Amino acid sequence: MGKNSSDQENQGGIVKKEFKKVLIANRGEIAVRVIRTLKEMGIKSIAVYSKADKNSLHISMADESICVGDSPSKMSYLSMESIISAALATGADAIHPGYGFLSENSEFSKLCSKNGIVFIGPNPDSIRLLGNKSVARNLAKKSGVPITPGSDDSVKKDFLGIAKKIGYPIMIKAANGGGGKGMRIVTEPENLLKEVEMAQREAKEAFGSDEIFFERYIEKPRHIEIQFARDYNGNIITFPERDCSLQRKHQKLVEETPSPYVNSDIRKKLHTVVKKLAESANYHGVGTVEFLMDKDKNFYFMEVNTRLQVEHPVTESVCGVDLVKEQILIAQGESMDISQDYVDDFRGHSIEHRINAEDWEKNFMPNPGTVEEIVFPQGLGVRIDTHVYSGYNIPPFYDSMIAKLIVWAPTRQEAIRRSKRALDELIIKGVKSTAGLHREIVRDINFQRGDFYTKYLEEFIPMILAEREEKK
């Protein structure tokens, strides 16, 4: 499968270690996803769970399981001490953090190392360097990566003065997190201080830090990202770009690869700067560099996610790779199982639809509860990543993800047609979901043309709802 033939000795100072047991410090569909790869690699899996997740699918799939605390995240999945204690009690060689929770926490990575446990991800220094958005911006700038105008460091005072220098509209961002938490767009100076206060409060609740920074807001941008992987033997691989422009509340809803907006020349430029940035940060593991792209196809550095992305399956689909496997191989001190030539020969088009337990017609109001019935689509080119089953109770404490529907086809138009078919087969009863919105999206002419941007759904959804009202 395009094996990397490098015979270099490990130069990263890491001791090669073959994992026999890996604890997954996460829940839901990503825990299920990691367990599947561990089984295929012959590695035993350990699931952790909170009291609210005692009937979750990942528990029954794992070789072992252990409760790490009460239902709220801070008392279970965010409790570093509980997770480490569970790993030590079960004899885990390593911890896979999934995404969210502790996946980008440098202190947790350091704590793993102190306890003789391998953190399947980058080292604490790389997480600190790239996980803090303002610090990462400065590194990107030094590495020659284009960046949007903004504050060079976290903004702690003189908010109005700094914003005036950058110029409105301003994007406020949490310095130590992602997923849209702590993010605000400000168009007028009189609204800035109120939005700063709200962003700081949300960032503190989500990431334990109220640090924020400012960026000039690019109007009608595309959200383009590059997945990369770098091992301790000097091998670095960049993957075809993902287009994550269809979002709600700054969180991705539909992702696809390759982007209908990016040509081969831009792709090469993106890959060049990503490799330079990863090497500058001495990064080892799997990561993603995110960019904003304007109407003239100029791209600007946005942030680095020092973990596996929710949307990683689309990359796996077109490239024929298992990114979780590559993460584990790197963490064991081995060379990656793939080469750049193999990845560059990617085929077809893949689209991911995030199906969440939310009422999209009412501003995506969370809709936890019991899934009375769920029937997933099947057939050629259809993949489902989920932890949900008929009778499962979606708890109110965590992310509202029900499933990820991933399709692959030889061309983008065929992938869209496959998405239509798969979404029409999907049945969810008992809770409201975003499946209906996805059905509207794939039938939208602008989506079919590839003509959309990060705020597109804010215009599209009211239009769809208004049309429904007219038909009543």
Of residues 311, 238, 283, 236, the one with CA closest to residue 127 = 283
- How far apart, in whole angstroms, are the C-alpha atoms of residue 339 and residue 36? 23
Q: Look up the CATH superfamily of 149-216.
A: ATP-grasp fold, A domain (3.30.1490.20)
Q: Radius of gyration over alpha carbons of the chain, in Å?
A: 21
> Is residue 67 within 8 Å of residue 49, measured between CB atoms?
yes
- How far apart, in whole angstroms, are the C-alpha atoms of residue 314 and residue 320? 10
CATH for 222-471, among 3.30.470.20, 3.20.20.70, 3.40.50.620, 3.10.300.10? Answer: 3.30.470.20
- Residue range 68-99, pLDDT digits in tens: 999 999 999 999 999 999 999 999 999 999 99
Q: Is the dihedral of CA 448, 451, 457, 463 positive or negative?
A: negative
pLDDT (0 to 100) of residue 8: 33
- How far apart, in whole angstroms, are the C-alpha atoms of residue 35 and residue 41? 10
Residue ranges of the domains in the chain?
21-121, 149-216, 222-471
pLDDT at 286 over 50: yes
In the chain, % of residues over pLDDT 70: 96
Lowest-confidence pick of 173-187, 247-261, 287-301, 381-395:
173-187
The phi, psi pair for 46, rounded to 5°, reads: -120, 120
pLDDT at 36 over 50: yes
- Residue range 349-402, pLDDT digits in tens: 999 999 999 999 999 999 999 999 999 999 999 999 999 999 999 999 999 999
pTM of the predicted protein model: 0.89
pLDDT (0 to 100) of residue 80: 98
pLDDT (0 to 100) of residue 134: 78
Q: What average pLDDT does the segment 277-290 reach?
A: 95
Question: How far lies 459's CA from each of 172, 246, 463, in Å?
Answer: 22, 11, 7
pLDDT (0 to 100) of residue 5: 36
> Is residue 87 within 8 Å of residue 95, measured between CB atoms?
yes
User: What are the residues whose beta carbons fall under 8 Å from the beta carbon of 74, sequence distance 6 or more?
Assistant: none
- Residue range 105-119, pLDDT digits in tens: 999 999 999 999 999
Taking all residues of the chain, what is their mean pLDDT, rounded to a whole number? 93
> Is residue 367 within 8 Å of residue 357, measured between CB atoms?
yes
- Residue range 189-220, pLDDT digits in tens: 999 999 999 999 988 888 888 999 998 888 89
Considering the domain 21-121 in this protein, what is its CATH number? 3.40.50.20
pLDDT (0 to 100) of residue 267: 97
How many Cα atoms sit within 13 Å of 403 on the Cβ side? 27
In the chain, % of residues over pLDDT 90: 83
pLDDT (0 to 100) of residue 148: 86
pLDDT at 4 over 90: no
Q: What average pLDDT does the segment 297-305 reach?
A: 93
- Residue range 390-439, pLDDT digits in tens: 999 999 999 999 999 999 999 999 999 999 999 999 999 999 999 999 99
Q: What average pLDDT does the segment 22-45 reach?
A: 98
> Is residue 23 within 8 Å of residue 41, measured between CB atoms?
no
Domains 21-121 and 149-216 share a fold: no
Burial environment of residue 46 by CB neighbours within 10 A (0 to 12, 13 to 18, 19 or more) = buried
Q: What average pLDDT does the segment 313-322 reach?
A: 98
Residue for token digits 């090669």?
16
- How far apart, in whole angstroms, are the C-alpha atoms of residue 18 and residue 21? 9
Question: How far lies 17's CA from each of 36, 204, 213, 335, in Å?
Answer: 21, 37, 39, 12
pLDDT at 13 over 60: no
Of residues 96, 139, 138, 88, the one with CA closest to residue 114 = 88
> Is residue 22 within 8 Å of residue 92, measured between CB atoms?
yes
pLDDT (0 to 100) of residue 81: 97
Angle subtended by helix axes 435-442 and 412-425, to nearest 10 = 150
- How far apart, in whole angstroms, are the C-alpha atoms of residue 68 and residue 80? 10
Using DSSP bridges, classify how beta strands 170-174 and 118-119 pair: parallel, antiparallel or unpaired.
Answer: unpaired
- Residue range 140-185, pLDDT digits in tens: 989 999 998 888 788 999 999 999 999 999 999 988 876 677 889 9
Provide the annotated active-site residues: 307
